[in-house]
Amino acid sequence: MHRILVGCLLHTAASERLHEHAQVLSGAGSGGDFLGLLPEADGVVVGEQRLGPAEMDLGQRLRVIGRHGVGIDNVDLEAASERSIPVVYTPDGPTESTAEHALMLMLAVARRLPQFDRAVRDDNFSIQRQFEFFGRELRGKALGVVGLGRIGQRVAEMCRAALEMEVAVYDPFRDPADVAGCGAICVDNLVELARGVDVLTIHVPLSKETFHLIDREVIRAMRPGGILISIARGPVVDEQALIEALQDGHLYGAGLDVFDPEPPSPDNPLLGMDNVVLTPHVGSFTDEGRRLMGLTVVEDVLRVLQGERPHYPANPEVWE
């Protein structure tokens, strides 16, 4: 029976499926010895663990790497391909959950949800009579989407249909005709996109090209009083530039599910800001989303170990 090392929390349905067909080695949690168990594993399912050349060389039996999630920046694809190790991931799994989370953050920032929640808990109903706490409607506002992948496309669809927002997109890898087909305007310059929108939402993977893609120039180009939503990877945004724009009032607020680094340090100014809504990298944390992600990665890991081509290869050249 194949041995599969699991370094993340799997949904019960996925865990049961895995136990039916393999011996499961647990490398998750405080008691898990992920690196120590790597030499015993035929396959591995990782969450946020880093798998580079050194880790792969520890796993001399490794025949497949499964990434429980859509981002694969923590797995060195080049190193895996050099070792003829297929990498599989779950591009469809977190789409709906993460898109809904992005929409929730937009609404929470626009309507000052943290302040009102705290006011009720503190028996401060008089806050409803203070003009400085008025929120904002999103209906009819301009939305800028950076990255029109599965999640970005779903966010655009939600905002256009539910809030009648005008949607503009920056994605140099998408055909303008495809963008137009989604009911959005294609903008080929990121700074120009920022200048024309009230809300900027980010849905790109982390890579050398996207590190600090949302830099000081982009943030300052946003309309005064704009809202920034970051739900992809923390380093995509220049966090210091964002903090400055929030502190001096250039931005109305921000909704953040990701940080640089994670978790944020206790002295991070974002933690003390009333105009920022923060969540701990839980965009995909719904029962439905985690179930789909877990089953997707488990099924593909098992396919590879059975000599079958996976449905979602991240390095398909290994199969050529």
pLDDT in tens, 62-93: 999 999 999 899 999 999 999 999 999 999 99
64, 319 contact by CB (below 8 A):
no
Torsion of CA 71, 75, 77, 83, to 10 degrees: -150
Find tokens 């724009």 and name the residue: 245
Which of 111, 195, 220, 281 is labelled catalytic?
A: 281
> pLDDT band at residue 131, thresholds of 50, 70 and 90?
low
What pLDDT digit, counting tens, does each position of 27-76 carry?
876 556 888 999 999 999 999 899 999 999 999 999 999 999 998 999 99
Which of 82, 262, 288, 317 is labelled catalytic?
A: 262
Select the more confidently predicted residue: 119 or 300: 300
Q: Is residue 262 annotated as a catalytic residue, yes or no?
A: yes
Query: Which domains does the chain show, CATH number per domain?
Result: 3-93+287-319 (3.40.50.720), 95-278 (3.40.50.720)
**Residue in 135, 169, 161 with CA at minimum distance from that of residue 274:** 135
Which of 68, 174, 223, 233 is labelled catalytic?
A: 233
Tell whether the model's pLDDT for residue 130 goes beyond 90: no
Neighbour tally for 308: CB within 10 Å = 10
Q: Is residue 233 annotated as a catalytic residue, yes or no?
A: yes
Q: Is residue 2 annotated as a catalytic residue, yes or no?
A: no
Give me the count of residues in the chain: 320
